[in-house]
Chains A and B, each alone.
Chain A
């Protein structure tokens, strides 16, 4: 079964609204989670590293005020796309490292966002 759960799997929102995507680690504590975005037929692009109890670290070119990341607990990280635009429509995937320093990285099931 899944060890990292994402919700919702699909969401449609109107331009200008905000949408929240949750990423939960099941049965383990994830001090670090990662958020990726994937456009059709392209590879995964790392957006940000979510650290429990501290601010997220964003990759170059990713707007931190637009993509709000909150890692309030050891099992939950959220990505909020604020003031969404059609160009934000994409597949968003989170991942979590199984244990500190470990090599096992689990991915969530992904969330399809469509902004209309």
Chain B
């Protein structure tokens, strides 16, 4: 079966750092995506990992360990506008299988 787990909700303070974890068990693996989604809007691409290690892109970084079936999204210098849902998605051939998403609330 396909199983992708993320925490349901997280809260953090403006300016802080937050790490959103994602664990997965899927029948196939061709990469892992992180998307940001604001309520009522389509997801927007944040990062893509296919090899183990850390990918840094500005305030956002994403890490992947294929042997552990684990990824995390690291958000630094949090801003109020970062309040959104963050979706972890595993690519299995052509399909994207989404996790349940993590709703992040950033407080002043």
Contacts and interface: CB of A to CB of B under 8 A. Distances in A.
A113 B27 CA distance: 32
A43 B98 contact: yes
**How many of chain A's residues touch chain B, expressed as a range?**
20 to 34
Question: Which DSSP category, helix, strand, loop or mixed, fits chain A's interface?
Answer: strand
What is the interface of chain B mostly: helix, strand, loop, or mixed? Answer: strand
B98 A45 contact: yes
B94 A43 contact: no
A109 B43 CA distance: 8
Nearest to A32: B94
Contacts of B96: 34, 44, 46, 95, 105
Interface string A91-116: 10101010000011101111010000
A78 interface: no
Query: Closest 4 CB pairs between A and B?
Result: A107-B42, A43-B101, A44-B98, A110-B42
Interface of B: 31, 33, 40-45, 48, 50, 87, 89, 91, 94-101, 103
